[in-house]
Chains A and B, each alone.
With several copies, the nearest count.
Chain A
């Protein structure tokens, strides 16, 4: 199988082949790796690559192509999509708008909402304040734009990934 992996806007073509049970040959660009694979605990992998031992914590969700990889103290957010599917997605994305769906980065309480639908906001402006574990956290606008809808309600608890509000880009 051939995949397109995206990490920090950098795109890598990866070929994966299972040569025997729990052995994989992986081509990363023009580099090739033989991988002795084991999953001793769910989503915790033990990889032996060229004799070196790596313990890799992978967080994956069934409905998504995003993998959160924790490896020797560093976290990598990687999107892995099958090559054909990725090409299709890229074509479609070319026509998509720059609408920003802001989702809650954590579970918490919506403390204060500072904007209303229709309001103009600039990139970096604080839109609302979430509270969790005695800490207040500001949610900022990623772009200059106009508030579309506000889903969050003050005093109401949100979970990780819940929609908070929508920012539409300024008309071109």
Chain B
């Protein structure tokens, strides 16, 4: 095992990795930007070093400085978490050059899978099904038109280096092909520095279903039961569950075996995820991309299999062979994850940075909170707005749903608005209960209905506001007369630390 692990990340995933290291008995080194001195990962890790100013490029992406800290502290391995440097092949190589283990797959796997075109070529050679489309990039608008006619409508125009919903254009009419080509090219260039673009068939009632794989340095690769990630808002996953309501045992095995083949195509030797797009109509599945890192939603797989993926990933990087075979992986019950964001769901999901002045996290049976929050934390404006992931397990999907609703109801974050109540409404919706949704569900169906929902507790809200106004006025009056404020320790009109507009 490693002597010391540097965690090149922040937020909840830095905490997750620290917990795994802690349980393995390996000391940890945190890095932080100047905006994150008060962050929880700085406080819980064994060591902590500032690596630069607030902007990520100067801190969490500052390879030179991070490697300096690794050398200084004697860390012999680096866990990159997700995002930031986690899929950066150059970083992995520079770690290797210094004799530091990058906790992730081999660099070839990162490079090949990091590009949509090369990854498609690689997995196609292993007979992993692809969305009908092209394996090369488009040369120009004319070429685009030619391929569009060959594949047939509806189509997706995609930037080869794209991801996270950026650099994608749906095309339903042939005459829109040239404009979509130009748009995808320019977004690819501006977001990813790469203008390569290709075309593929658009899958109807699309569901995003992915397979976790785990490999070691001895050639073993196994797969886990699928994760259903179709509840998305603007192409960003919002709620994930495992298993999927539309996958049966035979399909699970077929998808798992395809994922292992995809992983084998690059000699995969770590934790990774093979993403598929699945037609909700035909249940055909097609390779989308492979993420060569620990995924945000890995905990739901952990909950239904009892496997600590973060820990196994570290052990595998240390050279340990996998401690189980495919046959040892069994599926038990059902797990759901909600990504809690610092966003206002009733105000177009505007980010809500600010100070958390009160916090009560849900607890009790089979509730797992993966969080970087604490009472007093000032959520900075510089980074991703994800505050925590709430994960539950239940013996059945129905029980997992009722447990998630219960846990969301317990989760109290005071000072900033979060997406917690939004999650409760999605999870409580009829379509979710039926498992009847695709990746367009939130944007096209749920949100319009949600905006018009009734607000049943208006009377109580008015009473609460009026009593606080009364108490404020009484305090003021007593203050003017030189008296003492009323019995409560804090008077009601004091700011809760947040300026309201």
Contact = CB atoms under 8 A, between A and B. Distances in A.
- Contact between chain A and chain B defined by CB under 8 Å: yes
Interface of A: 1, 3, 5, 7, 12, 14, 16, 18, 21-22, 24, 26, 28, 31, 33, 35, 37-49, 51-62, 64-76, 78, 80, 82, 103-109, 132-135, 137, 157, 159-161
Contacts of B381: 107-109, 132-133, 157
Contacts of B421: 73-75
Given A1-B473, A61-B500, A105-B501, A71 B460 contact: yes
Nearest 10 CB-CB pairings of A with B? A73-B421, A67-B465, A133-B351, A76-B461, A133-B385, A16-B470, A80-B469, A41-B376, A69-B461, A14-B466
B470 A55 contact: no
A62 B350 contact: no
Contacts of A49: 460, 463
Max count, chain B CB within 10 A of own CB: residue among A22, A71, A74: A74
Given A3-B469, A53-B43, A107-B354, A44 B463 contact: no
A142 to B, nearest CB: 13
A79 B349 CA distance: 23
B466 A71 contact: no
A108 B350 CA distance: 11
Max count, chain A CB within 10 A of own CB: residue among B43, B384, B464, B496: B464
B424 A39 contact: no
Interface in B270-296: none
Max count, chain B CB within 10 A of own CB: residue among A42, A75, A109: A42
Q: Is the interface of A mostly helix, strand, loop or mixed?
A: strand
A26 B470 CA distance: 11
Nearest to B457: A71
Contacts of A72: 409, 456-457
Given A5-B466, A16-B469, A59-B500, 14 more contacts: A26-B467, A28-B462, A31-B459, A40-B377, A41-B374, A45-B468, A46-B37, A71-B457, A80-B468, A132-B353, A133-B351, A133-B383, A134-B383, A161-B499
A72 B469 CA distance: 21
Interface stretch (B115-123, B314-322, B485-493): B485-493
Interface stretch (B45-53, B97-105, B213-221, B436-444): B45-53
B358 A135 contact: no
Contacts of A12: 462
B353 A134 contact: no
20 contacts: A1-B469, A21-B487, A26-B463, A40-B374, A40-B377, A41-B358, A42-B357, A45-B467, A51-B48, A62-B493, A72-B409, A76-B458, A78-B462, A105-B501, A106-B350, A106-B352, A132-B381, A134-B384, A137-B350, A159-B499
Contacts of A108: 351, 353, 381
A101 B462 CA distance: 27
Contact of A40 (B38, B49, B470, B486): B38
Interface stretch (B171-179, B258-266, B412-420): B412-420
Contacts of B458: 7, 76
A18 B44 contact: no
Contact of B468 (A54, A67, A134, A161): A67
B346 A75 contact: yes
A62 B494 contact: yes
Contacts of A39: 488, 490, 492
Nearest to A10: B458
B455 A76 contact: yes
A70 B292 CA distance: 40
A49 B467 CA distance: 13
A45 B464 contact: yes
Contacts of B342: 133
A40 B38 CA distance: 6
A73 B420 contact: yes
Contacts of A159: 499
B462 A5 contact: yes
A71 B464 CA distance: 10
A160 B347 CA distance: 14
Contacts of A109: 381
B496 A60 contact: yes
Nearest to B462: A5
A26 B488 contact: no
Given A7-B458, A134-B383, A51 B49 contact: yes
Max count, chain B CB within 10 A of own CB: residue among A33, A41, A49, A80: A41
Interface in B346-386: 346-354, 357-358, 374-377, 381-385
Contacts of B211: none
A68 B496 CA distance: 11
Max count, chain A CB within 10 A of own CB: residue among B48, B424, B462, B492: B462
B310 interface: no
A66 B472 CA distance: 12
A31 to B, nearest CB: 7
A133 to B, nearest CB: 4
